Amino acid sequence: MKQTLPFLLAALALLTGCLSYGSVGVGSTSGVGVAFSSHGDFLYSGPDAAYRSNREGLRAFLDQDYATARTHFDATLDAYPGNPDAVFYLGLTLQFLDEREQGFAVLATFRDPLNTRVTQEVQWWTTYCRKKPEMTPDDIRRTLVNARGEGFQREREERWEDRWGI
């Protein structure tokens, strides 16, 4: 499995631009699962109820049904306070609901307990976007989704380097 994992991750990276929505599990014992959309959005696996609620929220978000998305992300946070996916996408959802400052306040609380780089990237870019009133919700979303994805990728690369002594 260890030898095929880099190939699978590379194939996944190539395919995500072609998929509208999909789920991928990484490693049978790692417990890490990631669901990607063609927009670069992704969800971590986690407690089943949280993952299902976040998945439905992300689908509503991608369908531009922001009120429904908000309901799902709020429900996740009620049951699982601080859930990183729910915090991230609720903050973005609020941008599209014209609640800019509340959205930034939620995004400022983003913490990914498993990925320090992701947390740092999202927090830094949240602060940057907050200072740019000319940014549209789409601009904010693109910026933060890219930052989160890059943080996730850097975290993975650093773990591989540490594991293989590169």
Domains in the chain, CATH or no CATH each = 48-164 (1.25.40)
Using 50, 70 and 90 to split pLDDT, how confident is the model at 40? low
Q: Is the pLDDT of residue 7 over 50?
A: no
- Percent pLDDT > 90 in the chain is 59
Q: How many residues does the chain have?
A: 166
pLDDT digits (tens, 9 = 90+) for 60-113: 999 999 999 999 999 999 999 999 999 999 999 999 999 999 999 999 999 998
Sign of CA dihedral 36, 41, 42, 48: negative
What mean pLDDT do residues 113-140 have?
A: 95
**Whose CA is closest to 140, among 103, 106, 85?**
103
- Supply the pLDDT for residue 166: 63
Residue 105 CB neighbours (<10 A): 14
Pick from 4-18, 40-54, 90-104: least confident: 4-18
Asked whether the beta carbons of 58 and 64 are under 8 A apart, the reply is no
Nearest C-alpha neighbor of 85 from the set 96, 69, 63: 69
- Residue 43 has what pLDDT? 84
Averaged pLDDT for residues 28-51: 60
